[in-house]
Chain A
Amino acid sequence: MTIATRPPRHSFRFRGRNFLALVLRPEPPFTDWFAELDQWLARSPGFFTGKPLILDLAGLKLERAEIAALIEELRTRAIRILGIEGGDPAVLDDSLPPSLTGGRTSGSVEAIETIARRPEASDAIKTAPPAAPGSRVPSLLVETPVRSGQTIINAEGDVIILGSVASGAEVIAAGSIHVYGALRGRALAGAYGNESARVFCRRFEAELIAVGGYYKVTEETDTHLRQKPVQAWLAGNELKIASLDQTEKEAVQWRKS
């Protein structure tokens, strides 16, 4: 009689929590809408990666099979739906994501001006199945200088920039960041938790440099590293920045000792 020995549980403790979710509203005809979505995804691959997404079906009269087909189409684009808003309760059942109500509108998410490309992105998105864990992820090559105010995002792999990253520009990568010009803006490597990511640049003048969420601003970096080729990596909980130039490094160590 083990049950009798347990203290009686009077209530469960639940916690409320707010999340910001993106809402997708498909517009008929769906073939056109998906074509537009594909175009947009080609420019910003990985935009939806790891983001909670709600499907807004308000105003659309859809059968259960049609909704399921819609969700399946989105799934092939690596977009996973967390819940459905505005759907007809008579149509929704357990096979579909749960119905949600009471959402409040927050500001629209700014996705314009964000350049996030990768070679033959449009083809890759359409044909490539979602990358299996541990498989090679495509890196993003940017051949033009990154201008102030621009953001380069690769939510899957590395970012390689042949030109400079201007003051006020931002580069975000799930993997490492390589800048072959001057890095004057911000570089956030391992932005989705990859702590083995690194930042490399040929001329270090960055405003902010971060790996796996640990960051340093220019003021906290050694002045002798400025304008030098450097790399930044995470050692435990510390973000380290060192010159790539070995002789320079040795000279510094010699001066310290």
Chain B
Amino acid sequence: MAEVLVVTSGKGGVGKTTSTAALGAALAQSGQNVVVVDFDVGLRNLDLVMGAERRVVYDLINVANGDVRMPQALIRDKRIDTLYLLAASQTRDKDALTEEGVRRAIGELRDRFDWVICDSPAGIERGATLAMRFADLAVVVTNPEVSSVRDSDRIIGLLDSKTVKAAKGERMEKLLLVTRYDKVRAGRGDMLSIDDVLEILSIPLIGIIPESEEVLRASNLGAPVTLANAASAPARAYMDAARRLKGETVPMTIPSERRTLLTKLFGRRAA
């Protein structure tokens, strides 16, 4: 039975698309059949981060409207056989999405894959509510700063009221993914600590992704960070989070960059 997972946050720029790509790739690397679906109609990015922008022919809107069949719109990743992308349309806007169309598309993906990962747009409007509408569980992406935390709190409230699962009276599973975490700055008090964030949001923690230049480097390369540099700190953190998603018990650590004496001496290399 497939799991439909929505990656959401409320606030923009916190790392939803990066996390969607990284978690999707990490799950696929472990042998699972995964599709990542871009719900950011009109402002699509997931195709770029996945490095598939030149292969998009049909998209979510075409499938939802019944213009094409699902296999025509699915783009297989060139690096991992079990990873697929369903892109968003760049020329349309969120109003082009219908609830019935999304329901049909998600239903079809459920039959084909182990994991359907929906990359939600920022905000709380139509795109975001439709992305979460049919999900079984949610990964709430939060940066350790107050505005992101409050927006995440708002999204958690919506997950508990606007999803099909919530409407049926079932419990919507919500998991917290803290991204762009900087141990040093949190220690200095420039940033909220993990405990502060957990205290406010009170949902289970699925992972802590350290702030790293590897993330930017990977998205510019057009590769999920777990594929671009599997040994990097954020990649290891995403892989741990993916294992926890599968139900494995992995101790919660914050991976750090392995710094040799040389890199310490010469500082950061250019991104």
Contacts and interface: CB of A to CB of B under 8 A. Distances in A.
A144 B157 CA distance: 10
Nearest to A145: B202
Interface string A92-124: 000000000000000000000101000000000
Contacts, number: 38
Contacts of B153: 147-149, 166-169
B202 A148 contact: no
Given A164-B202, A166-B200, A148 B154 contact: yes
Q: How many of chain A's residues touch chain B, expressed as a range?
A: 10 to 19
A149 B150 CA distance: 9
A163 interface: yes
Interface string A173-208: 000000000101000000000000000000000000
Contacts of A164: 200, 202
A148 B160 contact: no
A149 B159 CA distance: 12
Contact of B150 (A163, A168, A182): A168
Nearest to B147: A167
A150 interface: yes
B161 interface: yes
A115 B156 CA distance: 14
Nearest to A114: B161
B124, B150, B157, B158 interface centre (most CB from chain A within 10 Å): B157
A113 B146 CA distance: 23
Interface string A128-166: 000000000000000011011110000000000001101
A147 B151 contact: no
Interface residues of B, number: 14
A213 B197 CA distance: 32
A150 B157 contact: yes
B200 A147 contact: no
A167 B150 contact: yes
B151 A148 contact: yes
A164 B149 CA distance: 14
B152 to A, nearest CB: 8
B150 A148 contact: yes
Contacts of B157: 113, 147-150, 169
Chain A residues touching B, majority SS: loop
A138 B150 CA distance: 31
B132 to A, nearest CB: 14
A218 to B, nearest CB: 14
Interface in B112-169: 124, 146, 150-151, 153-154, 156-158, 160-161
Contact of B156 (A113, A147, A167, A184): A147
B86 to A, nearest CB: 29
Interface in B179-201: 199-200
Contacts of B150: 148, 166-168
A113 B200 CA distance: 20
Nearest to A203: B199
A145, A148, A150 interface centre (most CB from chain B within 10 Å): A148
Contacts of B161: 113, 115
Contact of A163 (B124, B146, B202): B202
Nearest to A146: B157
A166 B156 CA distance: 11
A39 to B, nearest CB: 13
A24 B150 CA distance: 35
17 contacts: A145-B202, A147-B153, A147-B154, A147-B156, A147-B157, A147-B160, A148-B153, A148-B154, A149-B153, A149-B158, A164-B202, A166-B200, A167-B146, A167-B153, A168-B150, A168-B153, A182-B199
Q: 7 closest Cβ contacts across the A-B interface?
A: A147-B157, A148-B153, A148-B154, A149-B154, A166-B153, A150-B157, A147-B153
Interface of B: 124, 146, 150-151, 153-154, 156-158, 160-161, 199-200, 202
Given A113-B158, A167-B146, A167-B150, 6 more contacts: A115-B161, A148-B153, A148-B154, A164-B202, A166-B200, A169-B153
